[in-house]
Structure 1
């Protein structure tokens, strides 16, 4: 009952106190019942008998289990080797459509003893993240989704070599779990470098929701602001949308107006949802907008834009056609 509320030292002391109350043979009996090594109980008894030498930290320096990457130096290398695209020297996008359980099984075949939970932790430490808008897979979708990543990665490489700008948009919408009454004006925060910043309107629980037209509007405003500030000179812009859904009619009509205003052809490629992915980029822009419309539940729209490449060498070469695949995933918006 108390174990979930105890740290390592407190647990040692509780076991030691029980062992002392049992007398001779208490250490081995308690160690066997608790599933710990007898030396753990003995250390607890030493700490009980020397209360004045209580350490300032729970563990002694160097104590505790070592990290998997220390005990198994080749683990991280083999794990990253399972990411797609394989055997490519400098890929722009990294991804995997396999579950952490499947990755753990493949690592076991390579001689590594690791759990699915540890695989997930290692992936997050390496910069991967699981889509918040994940949906159950349907039969036959696995190859289509993986092929789309390969198509997008190849197209990104072509645009980078041609000196055309490439950006990745990650969209997220969070909504207050409790309903609010009518009244009060709409509230909109200005773009922020910290989308998790708390404020008076952030009190309460927030849950992830599918992105809507307002989220796509924030994304378009973010792209427009970046384009104006960075003074891009290009004939074409590639937008990789890391979010489920195609954005709808309002997104495409807004893109058409934006393309006409800047005189640039825009290619949009959507990444499939429910996959671990990591998009590389030196520059990063974040927008955080909170909308509270009268009679509606407050919603926070978060957009993260990563710049994979900026324009160079003036106007650049001839127009690069969009990659093949479903029209809802890859399409062209002309000015």
Structure 2
């Protein structure tokens, strides 16, 4: 049995040195201490430091090889090439994709921010992954979430009232519908109007690289220039193919403008990508020009469905959740990033900047200028509404419905 006094001395040394040691120097120091004690030294050092005898013996072997010729890189390497455990995602190719699929329907947070968060605990996520055949601990799930850009966030009081009781169920319904249409190679698009932009030499938030002595000078006040006007970008984003289409209007953001934008997308992009499609699925927020309450939105969709001979399936996100629509964080946020710090001095500048927006994930965007004028305050009569060939879903038919093409008599 090692002398307790010696063990205490070694332990005190180790406690003082440990913060400054890495794996290699720790093994070498333990080996030197063990050899200095002679017989029983390995046991004494193991008891004092908590290191295994195998680790100490590996240090002794390392000391015996110090006189051998090594390259600088090899002599300072802590582990041999390829040493250490493989990352879980390297050993399990489907792990990350399965984790993200668990998060996708319930992902929370502002999608235009690089930070995302989820309301599922790491324990529940680990259990779900295990059911899917993966071997993973809650701690490893936590590490993977951090690497994917998720973080834990607390609640913040910013709103009055409460969200709709079926909000989460509607999210899941939309997610299932999207997967169904994608599996049948039918187009699934996310639509919305981006924030209106003033045209002119106005300050645009953000920064870009330029000559430090010649920053771009802009106007002091953001008053609308009556001669330049404004840009109203209405976006259509293909969830399957990662392609965007933006119709830049100059007049009013109306339901007619929204459907006209979808029409331009279909004839310029959608029809070419999905020549055999029989349906189009649209995800939209619950307000604005594509509001689920808008009669004109449905009437214009009816005209469009009849024109192209295809059924149009519409799913609206519940009130107060428009930021969860995919177009926000897969298209609009990248457009905003692309023109940050750059004044939108003309409509052509807007078109060029939108059309040149790309991402490392392969996003492709096309943009066009829509110079049409759209009348506001158009009323749709009860008779016109009754003539729309609309089929409402049993689950929240006000949010989920199909508009079918009408067959002329």
Q: How would you bin the TM-score normalised by the shorter chain?
A: 0.3 to 0.5
Q: Select the structure that is richer in helix.
A: 2
User: Which one has more relative contact order, counting CA pairs under 8 Å at least 6 apart?
Assistant: 1
Q: Select the structure that is richer in strand.
A: 1
The structure number with the bigger radius of gyration is 2
